[in-house]
């Protein structure tokens, strides 16, 4: 059954943290919300009410597993008419190297490659929407990257919590976002990357956070609703006409390693075409 509602937002990773608060904010303002999550929502009256009325539609998929992701995206394409806003919000931060079923380091797979896959697969639904806007959740950790080589993203050598693969793959996300923006604008799609700011979430208190920062999390990190408000404003606020920019603390912020942006885009596009899109045509 297809749905014919105005104002549709798809949010990945909306079952916890910033994504959860963003989903509730959008629902409270009357938006239709499509949730693409690996895990179930927690018990919440707003979520349960919206699900019963079909204002919230939930699709399950493991974003690190292309087969699972493909099934979820196919269900979305069969069931939904259009998408106005795409929030590529899901991300991972681990305390050590992990590898996806496809064989790449999982920070790169989930933080960099999968947002591109989701955008490309749902692009036709975005073109049918009114706002045609993509917001990729990045991180200001990218501003602290000292060395960057796009060749090592899938199989990095040294590991550091937060400032290693996590920061590098968020930088790569913002690099391909910046690179792809001009071509997408010719068809009316605007895309930007955004740091929601430091939030008290499972990720910020998890194994991927350096030990010395745990006290800082408790003292200075904000409730996830603050980060959700920044993503919301990035989509609909002052910068809604902009494309290709990285927003940090609500301001367009330059970042380094722009000379590698075309290579990053080529890398993720090649993975998409060779490993994901080709399977759709078989």
List the pLDDT tens digit at each of the 282 positions of the chain. Answer: 444 358 999 999 999 999 999 999 999 999 999 999 999 999 999 999 999 999 999 999 999 999 999 999 999 999 999 999 999 999 999 999 999 999 999 999 999 999 999 999 999 999 999 999 999 999 999 999 999 999 999 999 989 999 999 999 999 999 999 999 999 999 999 999 999 998 666 665 556 666 656 666 676 768 899 999 999 999 999 999 999 999 999 999 999 999 999 999 999 999 999 999 987 655
**Strand order of the sheet with strand 246-248?**
56-60, 32-37, 8-12, 85-88, 133-137, 190-195, 246-248, 251-252
Indicate the SS3 state at residue 132. Answer: coil
Indicate the SS3 state at residue 192. Answer: strand
Per domain, the residue ranges of the chain are: 8-280
Distance, in Å, from the CA atom of 238 to the CA atom of 250, rounded to the nearest integer, reads 9
7 with 84: CB under 8 angstroms?
yes
246 with 138: CB under 8 angstroms?
yes
Instruction: Please give the structure tokens belonging to residue 25.
Output: 């904010």
Distance, in Å, from the CA atom of 178 to the CA atom of 126, rounded to the nearest integer, reads 18
Q: Does domain 8-280 have CATH number 3.30.70.60?
A: no
Indicate the SS3 state at residue 77. Answer: helix
What pTM, to 2 d.p., does this model score?
A: 0.93
pLDDT digits (tens, 9 = 90+) for 252-276: 999 999 999 999 999 999 999 999 9
């Amino acid at each position: 059954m297809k749905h014919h509602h105005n104002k549709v937002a798809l949010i990945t990773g909306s079952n916890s943290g910033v994504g959860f608060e963003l989903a509730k904010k959008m629902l409270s303002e009357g938006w239709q919300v499509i949730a693409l999550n690996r895990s179930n929502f927690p018990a919440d009256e707003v979520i349960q009410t919206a699900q019963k009325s079909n204002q919230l539609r939930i699709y399950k998929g493991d974003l690190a597993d292309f087969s699972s992701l493909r099934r979820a995206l196919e269900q979305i394409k069969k069931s939904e008419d259009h998408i106005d806003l795409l929030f590529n919000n899901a991300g991972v931060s681990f305390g050590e190297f992990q590898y996806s079923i496809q064989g790449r380091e999982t920070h790169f797979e989930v933080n960099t490659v999968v947002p591109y896959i989701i955008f490309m697969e749902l692009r036709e639904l975005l073109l049918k929407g009114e706002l045609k806007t993509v917001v990729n959740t990045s991180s200001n950790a990218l501003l602290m990257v000292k060395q960057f080589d796009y060749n090592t993203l899938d199989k990095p050598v040294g590991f550091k919590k937060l400032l290693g693969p996590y920061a590098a793959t968020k930088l790569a996300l913002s690099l391909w976002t910046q690179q792809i923006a001009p071509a997408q604008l010719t068809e009316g799609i605007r895309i930007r990357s955004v740091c929601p700011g430091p939030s008290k979430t499972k990720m910020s208190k998890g194994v991927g956070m350096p030990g010395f920062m745990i006290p800082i999390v408790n003292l200075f990190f904000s409730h996830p609703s603050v980060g959700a408000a920044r993503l919301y404003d990035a989509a609909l606020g002052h910068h809604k006409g902009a494309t290709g920019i990285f927003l940090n603390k609500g301001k367009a912020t330059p970042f380094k390693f722009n000379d590698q942006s075309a290579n990053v885009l080529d890398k993720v596009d090649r993975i998409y075409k060779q490993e994901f899109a080709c399977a759709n045509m078989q």
